[in-house]
Amino acid sequence: MNWQALWNDGAIISVHALVALGAMMLGAVQLAAPKGTLTHKTLGYTWVGAMTLVALSSFWIHEFQWFGPFSVIHGLSLLVLGSLIYSIQAVRNGQVTAHQNAMRQLYVLALLLTGAFTLIPGRTMHTVLFGG
């Protein structure tokens, strides 16, 4: 692994990537662990905080610029923020199934799928994981 490549891209990208990696690991634990416990709720709010930081930090990353300084990725970040709010409101209103579905979708789409795109040759995470 070439962690230096991550540090070379600056603080925003480093924080964004490291928090996203942490959210991937924490999300996997959350999906596998028992639901409704105090631990689940505590780790859940930690995960929501991490995902909020990942989404917000993306607005200072302008690697791809399609609409002024922004791209489709920034639209996805807005969708993530909206989905986090929706999911928390759902569980607070007793809509547990809606909460579970939204959180699973966020994990798969916002972390795993978009994370896979960071592994394209030429992107920072590709360099971190595979060198080059």
pLDDT tens column, 5-53: 889 988 999 999 999 999 999 999 999 999 999 999 999 999 999 999 9
Percent of the chain with pLDDT over 70: 92
Give me the domain span that covers residue 95. Answer: 3-130
Task: Count how many Cα atoms sit within 13 Å of the Cα of residue 62 in the half-sphere of its side chain.
Answer: 7
* pLDDT tens by residue, 63-96: 665 666 666 777 889 999 999 999 999 999 999 9
Number of domains the chain is built from: 1
Instruction: Quote the pLDDT of residue 9.
Output: 84
pTM of the model: 0.89
Q: 55 Cβ partners below 8 Å, 6+ apart? A: 77, 78, 80, 81, 84, 110
The confidence score (pLDDT) of residue 116 equals: 86
Residue with token string 């959180």: 103
Q: Quote the pLDDT of residue 74.
A: 76
